[in-house]
Amino acid sequence: MAMEERARMEPKHRPAVLLVVLFACLFSSAQAGFLDSITNYISIKNMCNKTIDATDSQYITWDASAEGVATSYIYGYDDNVYCTLTLRYPGRQFYVQYIQVDMEKPSSSGKDCPDYVRLYDGNSTAATPLSSAVCDSAKADESVISRTNAVTIEFSSDNRTTTNMGVQLLYSTFYRPTNVNKTCSGSDFQCDSGDCISKGLVCDFQVHCADRSDESSKKGSSSNCIALGVFEDFVKTFLNLGLAAVIGIIVAVAVVLIIIIIVCCICCCKLCKKSDNTAV
């Protein structure tokens, strides 16, 4: 009798077990680096007027938490500020992309941007400008390439409060091989242009080679990325949403899955009970 009762009770516990497994999978995915590409931000605000060592690639925004989570794309940016941030990487150059620029626009055409971001090819704003003062993605160059091993970002806003979201940049560092064979060092990836980037940047749904060869899914390409077809743009857009939006989507999907699992378990329990009654 005890065994029969235990067997009948087990289905009731299955939903809880499945929930634990589900959240464990989500947590392990995050720990494995699933969220790295949406949380790896440098804060201009926190690094105001500083020079820092760059990594292989990283996002840049006005503000970010201590964990590197972008917050300016949730709360906007501060007014009446002026900050510069210099990135340096000895032996490498910078490829910087304007992912999004949404700052206060001029009151009329022909006037300068009241709030803006501008890039310089060197250790300070005294260096050669890589771009003009930009406040709108539509007027920004898609990307710029430095000639030196440093890039300075200038961020400025006036004293008017705005609801604009700010700026989101993505930089990648690269080098041009100088050996006789013009090949990259170690396991570094060689773009079709000949530039070299870290192998870890290949096929991560973000472009790091100026010629985009690190994300190519064409047959015979050196990157040999998996072709996602119509889903490729969706994945890129998803990764650029920011942590808050991504977490919201993940939670929503998790809730739907939980409901489906619970409904399935309830149906299974009812079927089991009917089978038991029929057997008796």
Bridge partners for 128 per DSSP: 121
Compute the distance between CA of residue 97 and CA of residue 206 in angstroms, rounded to an integer: 10
Q: What is the DSSP letter of 134?
A: B
| Positions in the chain short of pLDDT 50 | 1-36
Compute the distance between CA of residue 22 and CA of residue 88 in angstroms, rounded to an integer: 42
Q: Please report the pLDDT score of residue 72 as a whole number.
A: 60
Which of the following CATH numbers is that of domain 42-175: 1.10.3720.10, 3.20.20.70, 2.60.40.10, 2.60.120.290?
2.60.120.290
* Per-position DSSP letters for 39-55, written without gaps between them: H-EEETTTTTTEEEE--
Residue with tokens 């406040």, as numbered in its chain:
135
Please list the residue range(s) of the chain that carry CATH number 2.60.120.290.
42-175
Q: Please report the pLDDT score of residue 23 as a whole number.
A: 46
Please name the helix (run of DSSP H) or strand (run of DSSP E) that holds residue 101, with its range, or none: strand 93-102
Q: Please report the pLDDT score of residue 174 as a whole number.
A: 98
Q: Please report the pLDDT score of residue 146 as a whole number.
A: 98
Q: Please report the pLDDT score of residue 74 as a whole number.
A: 60
Q: Please report the pLDDT score of residue 109 as a whole number.
A: 74
Q: Tally DSSP H helices, then E strands, for the chain.
A: 5, 12
Reported as a single tens digit per residue, the pLDDT across 233-259 is: 666 555 555 555 566 777 888 888 899
> What pTM was computed for the model?
0.71
Distances (CA, A) of 250 to 65, 175, 225, 244: 20, 37, 25, 10
